[in-house]
């Protein structure tokens, strides 16, 4: 899923400073699961904003709404009535959610309440880690199901650099060396021979480097 | 000869090679290079110039190598894939060759989080092994990575690094084999303080016959003080310094520690020379270039073969 993290109250207040009526919009998908922008977090942020405004005598009116998916126009339409009542919207969705709301309602400004961090998973309660960099050309079949693009600090394709020590990455002892994980996994699978082959230069054109990406599937188009 | 490199000529003739290192200044003052060069000239066969090592902005490796070449030394341009994509890398190799640079050391590079610009973006379009392949393709096939023909082929002597002290240990020789298969002509290793481990690694290298396919130059760095040794052990990525080495430094009085560091270095070089498959040493006297003439003399590595025979 997409992992998000809420911006500081201070930064959010600065963004929406000057508006009298603001709609805080939550998203029921990824950011609900990672406890960053679901219904509960919308309620928490909204009361924090109300309290801060009251303290400063700002007269800010906050309304709340949480929809199933902010990256889906079908659900965004449900917001229309509420949007007509406000001066600005504060999205607690990922970057795709913020932009889909902005593209749908061109008459009001939409601000991001979250930083969209990465595609990953929950490792334990309160701990999330990156798993995928959406490079557009998956190589997990040669790396034992562990992604060196997302998980090696240098995105190396041909094994660990000279900074791998005791299973840790040179950048930080809290970061596992992806290539140590790959090595251990392939050893357990008796597939170490896969690491003898030189992995050729990667085609980054299907990654973000190729420009904004678009996927068209004729078989499912209407 | 694959290149017109002095280092290649010495290694191919079977002589024991000595390479040095020169860290460029954090600024535009070329006189720093001149000062360092005077200690290296006549004492080493080629001089590595680091490429923004530890991700700290310094004078470029290409420019510094060109300055060293003007001073009658032979520069080995270190190039990391951290800061350049394949377009910039190949362009810089053309330029370097045109400036007279004949050796390249292909590296991935320290992560930028170590340096003076930790908020910068890294590149890593290629990894070090793919960089070796690229330089070899340019030299031997006369083509850039994209497949187009080159006008004026850069005939570089291709180097790569090996760190026998990083993990997983058993994979280190596999990684070396990949670098050799990719086209590395010579290898410079991480600084060696744990000779037993290095000998074990060399045994694995010989088991695969790699010592006959690539010239291995064993890395050494003299320790100036206990503080430096502890810093390198704890803070420098991929460095292994056994406690015995640090204890040996501690065992002499403070003012004698630099001398003891030199002694350790010279003894290490002497032991490395005896190892089958070691074709030279790479002496990295970090910010201590004035010790290079003393170390090579004490180690019996003088005189160096003339660069213009």
* pLDDT per position as a tens digit, B115-153: 999 999 999 999 999 999 999 999 999 999 999 999 999
The string of DSSP letters for A136-202 reads SS--TTTTTT--HHHHSTT--SSS--TT-BTTEETTEEEEEPHHHHHHHHHHHTT-GGGGGSPPPPP
Domains of chain A: 2-118 (3.40.50.2300), 134-209 (no CATH)
Residue B309 has pLDDT above 90, yes or no: no
Q: Which residues contact A62 (CB under 8 A, 6 or more apart)?
A: A22, A23, A24, A46, A49, A50, A53
Q: What is the mean pLDDT of chain B?
A: 97
Nearest CA in chain B to A198: B178
Asked if the Cβ–Cβ distance from A201 to B174 is below 8 Å, we say: no
Phi-psi category of residue A211: left, alpha or beta, with phi > 0 → left and psi -120 to 50 → alpha: left
- Lowest-pLDDT choice from A95-109, B213-227, B230-244: B230-244
Contact A165 B171 (CB under 8 A): no
* Cβ within 8 Å of A, B 50-79: none
Residue of A137, A155, A161, A174 best to disrupt the B interface, most CBs of B under 10 A: A161
Tokens linked to B189: 């290793």
pLDDT of residue B235: 86
- Given a cut of 90, whether residue B238 has pLDDT beyond it is no
- Category of B55 on φ-ψ map: left (φ > 0), alpha (ψ -120 to 50) or beta: left
Residue A202: list chain B partners with CB under 8 A: 125
Which secondary structure element, helix H or strand E, spans residue B130, and what is its range? helix B128-136
Omega before B168 within 30 of 0, i.e. cis: yes
- Position B275 scores a pLDDT of 98
> Does B20 score more than 80 pLDDT?
yes
Kindly state the helix (H) or strand (E) to which residue B186 belongs, with its residue range: strand B186-191
pLDDT of A59-113, one tens digit each? 899 999 999 999 999 999 999 999 999 999 999 999 999 999 999 999 999 999 9
Residue from B88, B111, B165 whose CB has the most chain A CBs within 10 Å, to mutate: B111
The rounded distance, in Å, linking the Cα atoms of B252 and B257 is: 6
Chain A: closest CA distance from residue B178 (Å): 6
* Cβ atoms < 10 Å from Cβ of B286: 16
Domain residue limits, chain B: 6-224+267-298
- Residue B32: its pLDDT value, please? 96
Which chain B residue has the Cα nearest residue A149?
Answer: B124
Query: In this predicted structure, what is the pLDDT of residue B188?
Result: 98
| Model pLDDT for residues B21-53, shown as the tens digit of each residue | 999 999 999 999 999 999 999 999 999 999 999
Among B123, B165, B168, the strongest candidate for a mutation testing the A interface, having the largest count of A CBs within 10 A, is B168
CATH number of B6-224+267-298: 3.20.20.220
Task: Determine whether the interchain pair B237/A162 forms a contact, defined as Cβ–Cβ distance below 8 Å.
Answer: yes
pLDDT tens per residue, range B74-84 = 999 999 999 99
Residue among B125, B162, B181 whose CB faces A198 most closely:
B181
Residue A58 pLDDT? 86
- Interchain contact B237–A (C-beta under 8 A): yes
Q: Which residues of B touch A172 (CB under 8 A)?
A: 113
B199: contact with A, CB 8 A cutoff: no
ipTM of the complex: 0.95
Beta carbons of A162 and B129 less than 8 Å apart = no
Read off the pLDDT band of B307 (50, 70, 90). Answer: confident
Q: Which residues of A touch B190 (CB under 8 A)?
A: 162
């Amino acid at each position: 899923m997409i992992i998000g993290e809420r911006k500081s109250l201070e930064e959010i207040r600065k963004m929406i400073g000057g508006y009298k009526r603001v709609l805080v919009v939550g998203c029921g998908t990824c950011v609900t699961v990672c406890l960053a922008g679901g219904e509960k977090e919308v309620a928490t942020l909204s009361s924090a904003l109300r309290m801060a405004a009251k303290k400063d005598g700002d007269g800010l009116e906050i309304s709340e709404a949480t929809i199933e998916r902010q990256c889906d126009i079908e659900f965004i339409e449900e917001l229309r009535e509420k949007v007509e009542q406000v001066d600005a919207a504060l999205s607690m969705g990922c970057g795709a959610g913020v932009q889909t709301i902005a593209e749908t309602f061109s008459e009001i400004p939409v601000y991001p309440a979250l930083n969209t961090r990465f595609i990953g998973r929950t490792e334990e309660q309160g701990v999330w880690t990156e798993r995928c960099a959406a490079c557009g050309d998956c190589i997990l079949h040669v790396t034992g199901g562990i992604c060196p693009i997302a998980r090696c600090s240098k995105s190396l394709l041909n094994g660990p650099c000279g900074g791998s020590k005791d299973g840790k990455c040179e950048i930080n002892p809290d970061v596992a060396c992806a290539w140590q994980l790959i090595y251990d996994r392939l050893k357990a699978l008796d597939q170490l021979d896969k690491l003898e082959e030189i992995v050729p230069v990667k085609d980054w054109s299907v990654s973000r480097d190729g420009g904004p990406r678009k996927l068209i599937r004729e078989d499912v188009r209407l | 000869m694959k290149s017109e490199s002095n280092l290649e000529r010495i290694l191919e003739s079977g002589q024991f090679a000595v390479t040095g290192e020169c860290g460029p200044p954090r600024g535009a003052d070329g006189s720093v290079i001149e000062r360092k060069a005077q200690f290296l000239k006549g004492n080493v066969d080629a001089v590595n110039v680091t490429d923004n090592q530890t991700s700290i902005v310094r004078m470029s490796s290409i420019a510094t190598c060109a300055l060293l070449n003007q001073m009658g030394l032979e520069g080995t341009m270190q190039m990391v894939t951290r800061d350049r994509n394949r377009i910039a890398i190949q362009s810089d190799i053309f330029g370097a060759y045109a400036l007279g640079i004949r050796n390249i050391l292909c590296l991935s590079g320290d992560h930028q989080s170590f340096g003076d610009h930790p908020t910068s973006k890294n590149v890593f379009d290629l990894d070090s092994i793919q960089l070796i392949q690229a330089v070899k393709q340019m030299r031997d096939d006369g083509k850039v990575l994209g497949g187009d023909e080159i006008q004026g082929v850069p005939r570089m002597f291709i180097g790569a690094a090996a760190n026998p002290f990083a993990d997983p240990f058993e994979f280190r020789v596999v990684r070396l084999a990949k670098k050799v298969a990719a086209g590395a002509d010579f290898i410079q290793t991480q600084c060696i303080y744990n000779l037993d481990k290095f000998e074990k690694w060399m045994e694995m290298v010989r088991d695969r016959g790699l010592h006959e396919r690539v010239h291995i130059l064993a890395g050494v760095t003299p320790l100036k003080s206990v503080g430096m040794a502890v810093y390198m052990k704890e803070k420098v990525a991929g460095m292994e310094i056994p406690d015995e080495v640090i204890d040996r430094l501690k065992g002499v009085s403070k003012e004698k520690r630099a001398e003891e560091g030199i002694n350790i270095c010279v003894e290490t070089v002497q032991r490395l020379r005896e190892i089958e498959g070691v074709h030279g040493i790479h002496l990295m006297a970090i910010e201590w270039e004035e010790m290079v003439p003393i170390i090579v003399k004490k180690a019996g590595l003088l005189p160096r073969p003339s660069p213009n025979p």
